[in-house]
Structure 1
Amino acid sequence: MNLKVKDIMTSDPVWINYRDTIQTATQIMLQHRIDGLPVLNDQKKLVGIFTKSHAFRALGRDINIPVYDIMKRDVITINEQATPEEAWQIQVGRLPVVNSSGELVGIATRTDLVNAFYLQLKYAMKELKVIINSTHNSIIAIDSNSNIIVFNKAAENLFNISRSDVLGKQIDDVIPYSSLTSVIQDCKAQFTQKMVLCGKSVLVNKSPIIDNGEVIGGVGVLQDISELEMISDELRTVQLINKELNTIIDFSADGIVVADSSGIILKVNNAYLEIMGISQEVLIGKSVKWLVEKGYLSESVILKVLQSRKSETVALRLNTGKEIILTGTPIYDEEGNIYRVVANVRDLTELNCLREQLKEARGLTMKYLSEMEKYRLDKILEDVVYQSKEMCVKIEMAIKVAQVDSTVLLLGESGVGKEVIAEIIHKSSNRSKGPFVKVNCASIPNELIESELFGYEGGAFTGAYKDGRFGFFELANGGTIFLDEIGEVPLDIQPKLLRVLQEQEIYRIGGRKPIKLNIRVIAATNRDLEDMIKVGKFRQDLFYRLNVVSILIPPLRQRRDDIPALIHHFLNKFNRKYSLNKKISSRLISKLIHYDWPGNIRELENTIERMVILSSDDLIDTDNELLNSDEKQVISSFKNLNLHDVLRETEKNLILQVYNECRSTHKAAQILGVNQSTIVRKLHKYYPNSKKEIPQCINDDNLH
């Protein structure tokens, strides 16, 4: 397959006349989204090239001057009759192609050349397949794992098995007792073995497949001699086998040479003569030393075999430039003496060339895949706000652990962003197309948590749906489940969680059959599980199963570099939400940075939202009112107040206002976007002696 540049180039390329202006050339490049334009004269001959670099240099100049004044004149071109290999040596992304008259006839890109090499490789592989299937002898090849990779037409006929039924299967499962795997283990060729395979007598030649000194498989050439044994006596059979073996040698694509125990050449095939460039009349009867003395070979593999008395392999480059690999194998007589040496010679020149081209193509593919993966990670992190070195380390760790399926335990105070890290792990993993189910264990009543997590069968208990119900674990099958507030799971449920982690299966309530799962578990807590283990509130074995990989997310006060970015992020978010255009003064930002934020990011977000809603001016400063007049809590200045106290009072009054309006901690938690347990805890904290005034703050936790 002799491709020329004209066969693979892009014909009728976009070009400009040397009198066209810089403005015209720039508009054409923008229109066609190209980086350069060939410049032709009136005779359609190439006289230069105008690139985007010329356009940039022309900035500030008269854009109506002709491109001829600033174009590059010494343009690298290639003739349309050149080969793709010659074009590849010219390191130009868009290579102008000209005919014998110097006229521009096309453009050859690197992509065009890679496609040309792929076509050549595809054609070569097709030829190799035709040759193998045209061979009279059965050829069976296996890889290093003993899986069949080649099974030619003759082998199909010999064993009456379709090639499609055996490719990829173990050789011993298809052809028992073939012992083809022995050449991989022994790294030695085995010639002319008589065997009975699948009820047929065959002669087998087996050789290891060696690449760069490493055995990567084995190949067997099989000759069916069943009919010969049936109609001939043993002597006649041996004579016919010898004749057929000689025929095989003569028609082998590899070069074969046979020498006696003194190194005298007895037989060669046509392939060997063609590789060496010498006639049979000159070679037969000569010593292999003669080939070395005359410069045909730099060393002889047959001499090495006679010296070592074992198989040898050498790789050589001939004077003609051909690269060959020679494998010599000794043949012993009944007394254990070498009486023949058979050398196999293979021309690797074309194969090596194709291998290099394939390597380059694979390199480009890996580069594109790497760029696609980087783009995917950028999309995952585009909504994650962080600037500090501490969070950069945690994000990198999350992306790294996402590549494996191990359980992850996220640790950190309430509001630090554990759920965000869990989403990053899910989206960066190979489960990203599966479901991501978030479960807040603290928000589920103890009497319902088992049915919510594991589901139930129909009629399992009074009030159950007749068809049963999926639990959160089944909903997450094929994806990731995020168990937030894992420390709030009751002790009697913890053994069932342990079973999910150990066995990847669950039992529904009322069910008797295990349900197999394929899920990844990410757990999170703001509690010290090891302290809970000591007081008997958390199982140690469950902790060990959860704590395969742990990520401790630092509180906001330990990564203050993130606070300005988060402030602006939340400010933009609530400006969009409420159709406002509020801004925060640098003086207030400075104070917010130095506040300790016990509620972390969640507290910061709520604070910014309150400021946006309650401030009367477009500029939120330390002297703005943060609360409305009805609450009678106006903060006129931050100058003489501690920011922690201000935010504490704001939170206290806001929680009480919302609670008094709805009289339910469950509804108050929904309105304020926090957990119900947080509302209850804050009410007890801010109003420890007000249980009579707030009777529902405890009781309705048991109702919802």
Structure 2
Amino acid sequence: MKWKELDLDFPLGVLVVDCKGTILFANKFAQIRLMKVENPSMLTIQHLLPTSNIIRVIKNGRHEVNQLELDDSYYLLEFPLEKGDRGVIILVPENVFQNIIEKSPAYTSLLQETESIMNLSGELVTITDHNGIVLRVNNTCEKIMGIKEYDFVGRSVLDLQKSGVVNLSSTAKVLETNQKVTLQQVTKSGRRLLVNGYPIFHNDGELSKVINISKDITEIGDLKAKLEETNRTLTYYQEELLKLQHKGNDLIFKSKSMEEVYGLASRIANVDATVLIQGETGVGKEVLARTIHNLSSRRDKPFVKVNCGAIPETLIESELFGYAKGTFTGGNSNGKVGLVQAANHGTLFFDEIGELPFNLQAKLLQVLQEKQFTPLGTTKNINVDVRFITATNRKLEEMVKEGTFREDLYYRLFVIPITIPPLAERKQDIPFLLNHFIERYNQKYKQAKSFDKDVIEFFMELDWKGNVRELQNTVERLVVTVPENRIQIHHLPENLAGEKPMRFSTRNLNLKSAMDEYEKSLIIEALKSSSTLKEASEKLGIDPSTIGRKIKKHSIEIAKLQHIL
């Protein structure tokens, strides 16, 4: 057949091209569909079909098949001619092309194999063209995506994303970047997918298709959520257990100020930095030190207390650092292990550190800095691994200025300072402390005592100069000495009765009036010991707006109260 005989009646476009891209011939079908000109020699194939690979086909001698989209969809079948300097391009409509190849046994076999591979993994496989139109999906589409296969094929991925079938399109990301992408996707049915999108390119480097392989990770996500919930539950019970632990150490509190103290203690428990606990006598410095130890990783190791004010100055060095055999006449013949060495791998608590003699402060500084010391009567250094906690009711800064406490030791101790407020500033803790102490001493002395409500209210009015220790001793005395099981006001010892606040009397008041008077007195006490309304409200455990309303209700004149701004 001659080229000129391929006229309009021939249902395929035919173009003949030389190795330079010059169009030597185009039948009328090709002219109408592509060039729309009478003289094809005026054009080159590069201008007419920029995506054609015919020049490469001529040089390589191998045919290629490419898809071309015009007004309709066409396939380009490109073949080299025998002479080696020309090639032919056949423009085939898509429906004709499909009809031809689908009748091919090889094509049918390939199609079946492809289908089997797509459905083999159990994962969702999606194939789209270079415009993001879904060409094929495998048979897991309905199960994973929640929609029928025929509702999926032919739709744009952007349309699927916009309509909420998926929250994020992996194909759109591949088309945007021309690279493989991995992302998490949520379907309209609520399933979570891990999607890998792969770009497929033509030989000329142009994007041809996108293949997406989606793994359903919903159950993995559910397991992760359950694990997180389990971890939250575990954390809750751990916190509750820690509360039980600190309650076992008598660190009982309800007030916000003590909650902050305990929170700080919990955070630094596993940090081996030195802690300096400050506060008045009897506030519970030793209790807090033991709590820090029990919350730390050293909890199973020794907790050794050194009361610097209780050991005679002549003995304190040997008690702390020990001595070698034969050091003292009348001493232990085998020598003695000091308290510092006894606390190895544990916690050493120096109570009343301000009472430590000046000449021993340098030796303690050596232990803090170098973790080693020298016992009396020897020159051999002993290494120790000790966590140091110190406590004092004295103002160490003033002692440094007076020259009675080493400045370098002060700064070595003052790494993490914790101040415990006096009981008078946290009266919300009193009822809980009373309950704790009476349970302890009831068990110790085999009693069944309880406090009358008036006694609890009375105790909350007192200033407790001796703080928690005074309160504890008072409860023990009452449990032992009061003959009745119900402890009432008239059972209180004279030293407490003499301090009874006489702000109001309940004899001539009904219950409502008595409660109003009591509420007013509590607010006044909180205001007197606070510098702001917010601080007073925190002490009372109420909102600032609430305390403002109650001040107005009880006609309390704030200006006359001390410290209030």
TM-score, normalised on structure 1?
0.41
**Structure 1 residues 589 and 304, CA, compared in 2 at 3 Å: closer, same or farther?**
closer
- SS for the counterpart of 1:387 is coil
1:237-273: CA deviations, max 9, x gaps? Answer: xxxxxxxxxxxxxxxxxxxxxxxxxxxxxxxxxxxx9
Contact 1:617 / 1:624 at 8 angstroms: preserved in 2?
Answer: no
2:235 maps to amino acid: S
Match of 1:441 among 308, 321, 325: 308
Contact 1:582 / 1:619 at 8 angstroms: preserved in 2?
Answer: yes
- Give the number of equivalent residue pairs: 338
Query: Equivalent residue for 1:462?
Result: 329
**Structure 1 residues 456 and 340, CA, compared in 2 at 3 Å: closer, same or farther?**
farther
1:663-689: CA deviations, max 9, x gaps? Answer: xxxxxxxxxxxxxxxxxxxxxxxxxxx
Contact 1:411 / 1:418 at 8 angstroms: preserved in 2?
Answer: yes
The alpha-carbon deviation at position 525 of structure 1 amounts to 0.6
The alpha-carbon deviation at position 536 of structure 1 amounts to 0.9
1:402 maps to amino acid: A
1:323 aligns with 2:182: no
Match of 2:396 among 529, 539, 546: 529
1:380 maps to amino acid: Q
Contact 1:504 / 1:517 at 8 angstroms: preserved in 2?
Answer: yes
Query: Equivalent residue for 1:377?
Result: 242
Query: Equivalent residue for 2:410?
Result: 543
Query: Equivalent residue for 1:500?
Result: 367
- SS for the counterpart of 1:576 is helix
Instruction: Give runs of aligned pairs for residues 49-64 of structure 1, distance below 5 A.
Output: none
More RCO (CA 8 Å, sep 6+): 2
**Structure 1 residues 546 and 276, CA, compared in 2 at 3 Å: closer, same or farther?**
farther
**Aligned partners of 2:134, 2:226: CA distance in 1, in Å?**
37
The alpha-carbon deviation at position 277 of structure 1 amounts to 6.2
The alpha-carbon deviation at position 604 of structure 1 amounts to 1.9
The alpha-carbon deviation at position 527 of structure 1 amounts to 0.8
Instruction: Give runs of aligned pairs for residues 270-309 of structure 1, distance below 5 A.
Output: 298=171
**Aligned partners of 1:528, 1:467: CA distance in 2, in Å?**
40
Query: Equivalent residue for 1:265?
Result: none
**Structure 1 residues 362 and 396, CA, compared in 2 at 3 Å: closer, same or farther?**
same
Contact 1:438 / 1:483 at 8 angstroms: preserved in 2?
Answer: yes
**Aligned partners of 2:392, 2:240: CA distance in 1, in Å?**
31
1:520 aligns with 2:392: no
**Aligned partners of 1:457, 1:560: CA distance in 2, in Å?**
51
2:415 maps to amino acid: V
- SS for the counterpart of 2:470 is helix
Match of 2:432 among 565, 569, 577: 565
Query: Equivalent residue for 1:474?
Result: 341
1:124-176: CA deviations, max 9, x gaps? Answer: xxxxxxxxxxxxxxxxxxxxxxxxxxxxxxxxxxxxxxxxxxxxxxxxxxxxx
**Aligned partners of 1:395, 1:620: CA distance in 2, in Å?**
31
The alpha-carbon deviation at position 466 of structure 1 amounts to 4.5
The alpha-carbon deviation at position 322 of structure 1 amounts to 8.1
**Structure 1 residues 323 and 354, CA, compared in 2 at 3 Å: closer, same or farther?**
same
Query: Equivalent residue for 2:288?
Result: 421
**Structure 1 residues 315 and 494, CA, compared in 2 at 3 Å: closer, same or farther?**
same
- SS for the counterpart of 2:305 is strand
**Aligned partners of 1:509, 1:523: CA distance in 2, in Å?**
23
**Structure 1 residues 596 and 315, CA, compared in 2 at 3 Å: closer, same or farther?**
closer
**Aligned partners of 2:496, 2:218: CA distance in 1, in Å?**
76
**Structure 1 residues 388 and 358, CA, compared in 2 at 3 Å: closer, same or farther?**
closer
**Aligned partners of 1:582, 1:364: CA distance in 2, in Å?**
43
The alpha-carbon deviation at position 602 of structure 1 amounts to 1.4
1:412 aligns with 2:284: no
1:572-595: CA deviations, max 9, x gaps? Answer: 333333333444444444333322
**Aligned partners of 2:463, 2:371: CA distance in 1, in Å?**
41
Higher mean C-alpha displacement, 598-607 vs 573-582:
573-582
**Structure 1 residues 291 and 515, CA, compared in 2 at 3 Å: closer, same or farther?**
farther
**Aligned partners of 1:572, 1:594: CA distance in 2, in Å?**
22
The alpha-carbon deviation at position 522 of structure 1 amounts to 1.0
- Cα root mean square deviation, aligned: 4.3
- SS for the counterpart of 1:405 is coil
1:51-94: CA deviations, max 9, x gaps? Answer: xxxxxxxxxxxxxxxxxxxxxxxxxxxxxxxxxxxxxxxxxxxx
- SS for the counterpart of 1:493 is helix
**Structure 1 residues 451 and 355, CA, compared in 2 at 3 Å: closer, same or farther?**
farther
Contact 2:450 / 2:487 at 8 angstroms: preserved in 1?
Answer: yes
2:236 maps to amino acid: E
- SS for the counterpart of 1:459 is coil
Query: Equivalent residue for 1:170?
Result: none
**Aligned partners of 1:347, 1:517: CA distance in 2, in Å?**
62
The alpha-carbon deviation at position 429 of structure 1 amounts to 1.8
- SS for the counterpart of 1:413 is coil
1:608 aligns with 2:475: yes
Q: Which entry has the higher C-alpha Rg, 1 or 2?
A: 2
**Structure 1 residues 303 and 367, CA, compared in 2 at 3 Å: closer, same or farther?**
closer
Contact 1:616 / 1:625 at 8 angstroms: preserved in 2?
Answer: no
**Aligned partners of 1:565, 1:398: CA distance in 2, in Å?**
20
The alpha-carbon deviation at position 395 of structure 1 amounts to 1.8
**Aligned partners of 1:407, 1:539: CA distance in 2, in Å?**
16
Instruction: Give runs of aligned pairs for residues 200-219 of structure 1, distance below 5 A.
Output: none
- 5+ residue gaps, structure 1, are 1-272, 279-288, 306-311, 329-338, 627-634, 645-704
Query: Equivalent residue for 2:350?
Result: 483
The alpha-carbon deviation at position 489 of structure 1 amounts to 0.7
**Aligned partners of 2:426, 2:176: CA distance in 1, in Å?**
73
The alpha-carbon deviation at position 443 of structure 1 amounts to 1.2
The alpha-carbon deviation at position 561 of structure 1 amounts to 2.1
1:363 maps to amino acid: E
Contact 1:450 / 1:493 at 8 angstroms: preserved in 2?
Answer: yes
**Aligned partners of 1:588, 1:360: CA distance in 2, in Å?**
50
- SS for the counterpart of 1:551 is strand
Contact 2:399 / 2:405 at 8 angstroms: preserved in 1?
Answer: yes
**Aligned partners of 2:175, 2:115: CA distance in 1, in Å?**
17
**Structure 1 residues 638 and 396, CA, compared in 2 at 3 Å: closer, same or farther?**
closer
Query: Equivalent residue for 1:28?
Result: none
1:366 maps to amino acid: N
1:363 aligns with 2:228: yes
- SS for the counterpart of 1:524 is strand
**Aligned partners of 2:129, 2:496: CA distance in 1, in Å?**
101
The alpha-carbon deviation at position 434 of structure 1 amounts to 2.1
TM-score, normalised on structure 2?
0.51
Instruction: Give runs of aligned pairs for residues 19-98 of structure 1, distance below 5 A.
Output: none
Contact 2:308 / 2:355 at 8 angstroms: preserved in 1?
Answer: yes
**Structure 1 residues 457 and 346, CA, compared in 2 at 3 Å: closer, same or farther?**
farther
**Aligned partners of 2:256, 2:438: CA distance in 1, in Å?**
23
The alpha-carbon deviation at position 485 of structure 1 amounts to 0.8
